[in-house]
Amino acid sequence: MKKKTLLFVFLVVVLAGGAVVYYMLHKPHATVDDKKGLAITSEVLSAAFTADEKSANTTYLNQILEVTGVIDELNQNQDKKQVVLLHSEDPLSGVQCTMKQTATLKVGDKVTIKGFCNGYTTVVLLSDCILDNK
């Protein structure tokens, strides 16, 4: 009798674990589309990471940001996605936004882009970005 009870408990644990793994693998990808983000300018965001990266990571990393700035560069990455570099006071820095979909933009446009903050290299990195048409 004790063996059957242990076998039953083991099977319940295995099935519950399998259900959790299945859910984690198949849950919907988080997007910024219908979510509100923290509004900030590209100059302020870039300056925060340049001054104190550890503190800026605590505040902004993995957060949805609505970054307003002037476009300095437009490029395409290796995955053929549009990459927008927003202006910073530091000529070696800026905010690099990898767009979900290609948008009609030009250098010098002032835009607000919403995306996930992924940290800092020499620029602040935002991914899964969309134009925020307020």
> What letter represents residue 82's amino acid?
Q
The pLDDT, as a whole number, for residue 19 is 77
Contact in structure between 15 and 21 (CB atoms under 8 Å): no
pTM check: above 0.85: no
Element (H, E) at 40: strand 38-41
Which residues of the chain are under the pLDDT cut of 50?
none
Closest CA to 38 of 72, 82, 68: 68
Tokens of 108: 């010098």
**Domains of the chain, CATH where assigned:** 38-131 (2.40.50.140)
